[in-house]
C-alpha cells in the first residue's frame, strides 16, 4: 500500500492502554494516519506486566509515535492542548469519569474543537448501573454469555482463547470512527463515538440472540457442533492422531458427505434425512463419521471432503499459521524489522496491504521530536524532561509521577 493510504494526512491522539483503544489506533495507523500514542510517564500499563503485556504493546501499537507526558503537570496539559488543536481523532479507554477529571471529556473538547472525532471504549457503557466499574476482557466474556456458551457441555465455562471482547471493541470503535470521519466530510463537524466491551460482545452474538428467540430455549454450552444444525462445526478424529471439523447440514451437502464416507443410503435414513432429524440423532451420526473418516489420515480425509465441496478444516496449532500457504500468499503478515512480524490489515485495498510496518515505539520514543514539532527548543525540551513533565526514551528522566490508573 503506497504513501497515499486512505487516512494519510489525518492525526490521531491515542490515549489508550492495553488492547481495546490501542487496537483501534492500530487500525487507523495501518490506514495511514499519524497516530501519536500519548502515554503516562511510566508508559502504557501493559508495558509493566511482563511478556503478556509486551505482546499487547507490540501487537497494537505498530507504526505509532510515542510521547510520554504527565497530564496533570501544567506543561504537559499545555502540550496536549496544542496537540488537540492539530488532531482529527482522539481515542481512549479511560474508566468512565477519568477523562473529565483530566480535562479531556467529550463535551469540553468538542466545544473547543468542533471537527474532532472523539472515540472511546468503556467496559459496560456509560448509562447503566455498571458505568463506573473497571472493565476487562474476561469480565465481558463472563457476564455476557461468551464463557457460558464456550466449552464442553459437561465441563466448566471457558473463555475464548484470545481477548475476543477487547478485539471486537477495537473493531467496533474503528468502524464508528471511520463513520464519523465520513460524516464530517459532509457536515464539517466531528462527533462522539462510544462503544464498550459489553456492546461489542452482545452485538457479535446476534445470530445466537435470534436462535434464542426462535427456539424459546436458552442456548447451552455444547462444545463442538451447532445447536440447530448437524453435522455443523463437528469434530472428527483421524487415524494419524489429527482432527478436522466439517459442516454438511444442507440436504445436498449431506448427500455428498454420505457418498464420501461410502454410505450413500444414509441420506434417506429417517434418522438423518432432514436437518432436525440429524440434530436429534447427532451422537449416532458422529459415531458413523468417526467410524468412517477416522480410518483415514487427516490429509486424505480432507482431500476427499474438499473434493466433494464439503466445508471442512484441519484443526491446527498456532505455530502452524506462519507457514500456511494461504496466509503467506495473502500478504497479511508484515515485516516489522528485527525479525519481528505482525498481521496487518484484515483486508486489502486494490489488492494491496503494507508489506512492512515500523514496530511499536518505546515509551516516549518520539517525545523530543513531537515537542520540537510544536516549537520547543532543545534546551526547553531538556528542562521539561528534567522537571518531570515529560519522559523521553533518550533523555534521562526522574522517577515518574504515579498517575491514577484508567
Listing DSSP states for 59-70 in one string gives HH-TT-EEEEE-
Which pLDDT belongs to residue 3?
Answer: 60
Whole-prediction pTM value? Answer: 0.92
| Residue 11, φ and ψ in degrees, nearest 5 | -115, 135
Which pLDDT belongs to residue 396?
Answer: 57
Which pLDDT belongs to residue 322?
Answer: 86
Instruction: Specify whether the CB–CB gap between 36 and 11 falls below 8 A.
Output: yes
Which pLDDT belongs to residue 1?
Answer: 45
Provide the pairing of β-strand 34-39 with 11-14. Answer: parallel
Using CB atoms within 10 Å of the CB of residue 212, give its burial: 0 to 12 exposed, 13 to 18 middle, 19+ buried.
Answer: middle
Which pLDDT belongs to residue 97?
Answer: 95
> Distance between CA 104 and CA 84 in Å, rounded?
10
Q: Catalytic amino acids?
A: 166
> Distance between CA 367 and CA 254 in Å, rounded?
61
> Distance between CA 83 and CA 203 in Å, rounded?
34
CA angle 167/173/176 to nearest 5° reads 145
Query: Scanning the structure block, which residue is given the C-alpha cell 488492547?
Result: 19
Instruction: Specify whether the CB–CB gap between 147 and 159 falls below 8 A.
Output: yes
Q: What is the DSSP string of 22-37?
A: HHHHHHHHHTT-EEEE
Instruction: Specify whether the CB–CB gap between 75 and 384 falls below 8 A.
Output: yes
Which pLDDT belongs to residue 400?
Answer: 45
> Distance between CA 83 and CA 67 in Å, rounded?
11
Range list of H helices, 93-163:
98-101, 106-112, 137-143
- Whole-number CA gyration radius for the chain: 26
Cell of 238: 483421524
Which pLDDT belongs to residue 151?
Answer: 95
> Distance between CA 345 and CA 364 in Å, rounded?
25
Cell of 241: 492422531
> How many alpha carbons lie under 13 Å from residue 294 in its C-beta half-sphere?
9
User: Would you write out the chain's pLDDT as a tens digit for each of its 406 residues?
Assistant: 446 899 999 999 999 999 999 999 999 999 999 999 999 999 999 999 999 999 999 999 999 999 999 999 999 999 999 999 999 999 999 999 999 999 999 999 999 999 999 999 999 999 999 999 999 999 999 999 999 999 999 999 999 999 999 999 999 999 999 999 999 999 999 999 999 999 999 999 999 999 999 989 999 998 999 988 999 999 999 999 999 999 999 999 999 999 999 999 999 999 999 999 999 999 999 999 999 999 999 999 999 999 999 999 999 999 999 889 999 999 999 999 999 999 999 999 999 888 899 999 999 999 999 999 999 999 999 999 999 999 998 775 544 444 443 3
Amino acid at each position: 500500500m503506497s504513501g497515499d493510504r486512505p487516512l494519510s494526512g489525518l492525526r490521531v491522539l491515542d490515549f489508550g492502554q492495553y488492547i481495546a483503544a490501542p487496537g483501534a489506533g492500530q487500525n487507523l495507523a495501518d490506514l495511514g494516519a499519524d497516530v501519536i500514542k500519548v502515554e503516562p510517564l511510566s508508559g502504557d500499563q501493559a508495558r509493566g506486566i511482563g511478556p503478556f503485556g509486551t505482546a499487547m504493546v507490540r501487537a497494537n501499537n505498530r507504526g505509532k509515535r510515542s510521547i510520554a507526558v504527565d497530564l496533570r503537570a501544567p506543561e504537559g496539559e499545555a502540550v496536549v492542548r496544542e496537540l488537540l488543536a492539530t488532531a482529527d481523532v482522539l481515542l481512549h479507554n479511560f474508566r468512565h469519569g477519568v477523562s473529565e477529571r483530566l480535562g479531556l471529556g467529550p463535551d469540553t473538547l468538542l466545544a473547543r474543537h468542533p471537527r474532532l472525532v472523539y472515540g472511546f471504549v468503556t467496559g459496560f457503557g456509560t448509562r447503566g448501573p455498571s458505568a463506573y466499574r473497571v472493565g476487562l476482557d474476561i469480565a465481558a466474556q463472563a457476564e455476557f454469555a461468551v464463557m457460558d456458551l464456550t466449552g464442553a457441555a459437561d465441563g466448566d465455562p471457558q473463555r475464548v482463547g484470545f481477548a475476543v471482547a477487547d478485539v471486537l471493541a477495537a473493531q467496533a470503535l474503528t468502524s464508528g470512527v471511520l463513520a464519523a470521519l465520513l460524516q464530517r466530510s459532509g457536515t464539517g463537524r466531528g462527533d462522539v463515538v462510544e462503544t464498550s466491551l459489553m456492546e461489542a460482545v452482545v452485538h457479535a452474538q446476534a445470530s445466537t440472540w435470534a436462535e434464542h428467540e426462535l427456539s424459546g430455549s436458552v442456548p447451552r454450552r455444547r462444545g463442538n457442533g451447532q445447536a440447530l444444525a448437524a453435522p455443523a462445526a463437528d469434530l472428527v478424529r483421524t487415524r494419524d492422531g489429527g482432527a478436522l471439523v466439517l459442516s454438511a447440514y444442507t440436504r445436498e451437502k449431506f448427500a455428498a458427505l454420505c457418498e464420501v464416507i461410502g454410505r450413500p443410503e444414509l441420506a434417506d435414513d429417517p434418522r438423518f434425512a432432514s436437518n432436525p432429524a440429524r440434530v436429534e440423532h447427532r451422537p449416532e451420526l458422529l459415531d458413523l463419521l468417526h467410524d468412517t473418516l477416522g480410518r483415514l489420515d487427516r490429509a486424505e480425509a480432507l482431500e476427499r471432503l474438499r473434493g466433494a465441496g464439503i466445508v471442512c478444516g484441519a484443526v491446527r496449532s498456532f505455530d502452524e499459521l506462519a507457514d500456511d500457504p494461504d496466509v503467506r500468499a495473502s500478504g497479511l503478515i508484515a515485516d516489522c524489522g528485527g525479525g519481528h512480524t505482525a498481521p496487518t490489515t484484515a483486508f486489502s485495498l486494490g489488492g494491496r496491504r503494507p508489506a512492512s510496518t515500523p514496530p511499536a515505539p518505546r515509551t516516549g520514543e518520539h517525545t523530543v521530536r513531537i515537542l520540537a514539532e510544536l516549537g520547543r527548543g532543545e534546551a526547553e525540551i531538556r528542562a521539561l524532561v528534567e522537571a518531570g513533565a515529560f519522559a523521553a526514551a533518550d533523555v534521562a528522566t526522574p522517577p515518574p509521577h504515579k498517575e491514577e490508573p484508567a
